[in-house]
Amino acid sequence: MFEEKRTEREAFESGIYSAVAEILPECITGDKLSAATVLNREPYSFKVSYRFEGNGERTVVPVYFRIEGDFPAEEINVYKIGNVPIINPVPNCVDKAQLVSDRPSLYPDPLYVLSKNTVIEQDNCCHRWFEEGQRVTLNAGSAYQALWVEINPDSNKLAPGNYTLECVFRSLTDNAELSREKISFSVKETAIKEQAVTCTNWFYCDAIADVYGVEMFSDRHFEIIESFINTAAKNGNNMILTPAFTPPLDTRRGKCRKTVQLVGVKRTGGKYEFDFSLFERFVRICLKNGIRYFEHSHFFTQWGAQHCPNIFAEADGEFKQIFGWSCDAKSDEYTDFLSAYIKALLPVLEKLGIKERIYFHISDEPSEEALENYRAARQKLKEIYPDIKTIDAMSSFKFCEQKIVDIPVVREISEDMKKFSKSGCEFWVYYTGGVITEGNSNRLITLPQVRNRMIGVHMYVAGASGFLHWGYNYYYDVLSHGVINPLSEPCSYLLSPGTCFLVYPSLDGKAVPSQRIKAMRDGFDDYTALKMLEEKIGRKEVLALINKTLGKEVFVDTPMSESEILRLKETVLSML
């Protein structure tokens, strides 16, 4: 008996899945998707899988992808989901049962945008079809691959109604159709409101300079910075860490990271002058690209506010470091500097229009043992600027109870989380990659995407209004050692894949988004939709609806499945 040969169409398989489905090279986890409802102005994403099983004849099949239908083509972005090598899929902080897979393999994450409206032409010489753009090429018996389709990425106003999209794969060998998958959309009249979550993933200008080998704050550096800022703002990051002075973060005691100081300082005798030209350039780029809120870099060292950040100045005719680890945070000299600096800064903030939208950091993650030190540092700032708004990562309720920080940022796994939740004070949440418990949200590449997206529901039920993470583009190892390429070394930080970055650096200086940053943005849209429903029926009723829809009492340690998060969103949208 001879095996019957299959056509390319018969050997090609594809499918449409939700954005939180898992499409690994070896398998797919998730149910196929055929319909969805979205609020107006709300971006929506889904995945399209594809695979060529082989037909006994052809070993390589060049393919191109098109979306057809009645939805405006200009409101659709298509990305090819790339894969990164994960040699350590099970960090010490994670039970392997929580993961998508516990095997070293290629894992999907970076999103490479495909060209729009490319021309398909036939070359009569070699009898092949060619696409002016990127192709989707498959080998016989190839692994599963996927595309990420993003509807209304720029949050534009759309005509409400029902739409049908058809995802079509064609062979570049003979232009024959290989598969066609359909999905219908219902766009509601009600438009999603401005993102209700304030979100920052810390932005590192020094990492960009190091990865691309460009001079700090040169024109080329600012060009690349702008691409990374634009990608951040389009994906839910509406606040940015602004390095007026080199952030005293992730460095060993007595050591410092590369100098990244936007504010020029000149000291003559005991008098200070400040140059805010680079600071203003950075802020204007942020505003142009959609950033609304700003964080001033920390005024004191990490874990307790004992010392000063590294600050360089032209001092009495010599350019040198004037503050750093050798300087006590309580010194009169540093107090005089802060007083002069803040008084000079305020008119600049007023001119830029961000005075009411900038928050100041004192010290990152102070312990209870550092409470008095932290209190003294804050009091010093309050004396200089009584209206200062302070925000810091700190998980002890004592800081909130004693009102020594305006907005505490609480670790999601903090034992005091319920105290913050019930306190009525404003607080944010954060998480790291150091400890990951089963029910909490996190964003490792090897975790299911639903673990990332559920941050929005978790924040809503806890009553948190903002989210902070320490790494948007942290391309270093622990304590800022070395420089890594996350495309080839995604596990370099503590062998925790993806914990320190949400975007990848491309060769041309553009930020490559990840599917994780998109999933997090979807989680913030969930939060915003819940807040909109709260305006309509009240918070108590929304909390009851969440528990009823999911069949369990939900808090920040409640796990969710793909079907649960999608069902909850559909329920909320049906009531708006």
Distance from C-alpha of 38 to C-alpha of 160, rounded to nearest angstrom: 10
Q: Are 184 and 166 in contact (CB under 8 A)?
A: no
Q: Which two tokens stand for residue 389?
A: 């708004």
Report percent pLDDT > 70 for the chain: 94
Q: Is the pLDDT of residue 64 over 90?
A: no
DSSP count for the chain of H helices, then E strands: 13, 28
Q: Are 179 and 14 in contact (CB under 8 A)?
A: yes
* β-bridge partners, 83: 108
Distance from C-alpha of 57 to C-alpha of 310, rounded to nearest angstrom: 65
The 10s digit of each residue's pLDDT in 508-526 is 999 999 999 999 999 999 9
Question: Taking the C-alpha atoms of 456, 458, 463 and 467 in order, what is their torsion angle to the nearest 10 degrees?
Answer: -50
Residue-level pLDDT at 2: 39
Lowest-confidence region among 108-122, 293-307, 447-461, 544-558: 108-122
Q: Is 219 helix (H, G, I), strand (E, B) or coil?
A: helix
Strand order, beta sheet including 239-242: 239-242, 293-296, 358-360
How many C-beta neighbours within 10 Å does residue 162 have? Answer: 11
Residue-level pLDDT at 125: 55
Top pLDDT among 341 and 482 is at 341
Full set of structural domains in the chain with CATH: 8-191 (2.60.40.10), 198-447+464-500 (3.20.20)
Pairing of strands 358-360, 293-296: parallel
Which residues contact residue 103 at a Cβ distance below 8 angstroms, ignoring those fewer than 6 apart? 89
Residue-level pLDDT at 478: 84
- Local confidence band at 55 (pLDDT 50, 70, 90 cut-offs): low
Q: Is the pLDDT of residue 6 over 90?
A: no
Residue-level pLDDT at 95: 76
Lowest-confidence region among 89-103, 124-138, 160-174, 189-203: 124-138
**pLDDT average, residue stretch 429-458:** 93
- Local confidence band at 502 (pLDDT 50, 70, 90 cut-offs): very high
Q: Is the pLDDT of residue 406 over 70?
A: yes
**pLDDT average, residue stretch 303-324:** 92
The 10s digit of each residue's pLDDT in 359-402 is 999 999 998 888 999 999 999 999 999 999 999 999 899 998 99
**pLDDT average, residue stretch 166-180:** 88
The 10s digit of each residue's pLDDT in 343-353 is 999 999 999 99
Residue-level pLDDT at 317: 85
The 10s digit of each residue's pLDDT in 205-253 is 999 999 999 999 999 999 999 999 999 999 999 999 999 999 999 888 8
Residue-level pLDDT at 411: 94
Pairing of strands 28-29, 161-171: unpaired
Q: Is the pLDDT of residue 1 over 60?
A: no
The 10s digit of each residue's pLDDT in 72-126 is 889 999 999 999 999 988 887 787 778 999 999 999 999 999 877 666 666 655 5
Q: Which two tokens stand for residue 426?
A: 């404003």
**pLDDT average, residue stretch 116-142:** 63
List alpha helices for 353-395, DSSP H: 371-384
Residue-level pLDDT at 523: 98
**Burial of residue 28, with CB atoms counted within 10 A of its CB: 0-12 exposed, 13-18 middle, 19 or more buried:** middle
Lowest-confidence region among 36-45, 168-177, 184-193: 168-177
The secondary structure of 153-191 as a DSSP string is TT------EEEEEEEEEEETTT--EEEEEEEEEEEEEEE
**pLDDT average, residue stretch 297-321:** 92
* pTM metric for this prediction: 0.95
Residue-level pLDDT at 120: 65
The 10s digit of each residue's pLDDT in 361-370 is 999 999 888 8
- Mean pLDDT taken over the chain: 92
Distance from C-alpha of 510 to C-alpha of 208, rounded to nearest angstrom: 11
Distance from C-alpha of 434 to C-alpha of 239, rounded to nearest angstrom: 24
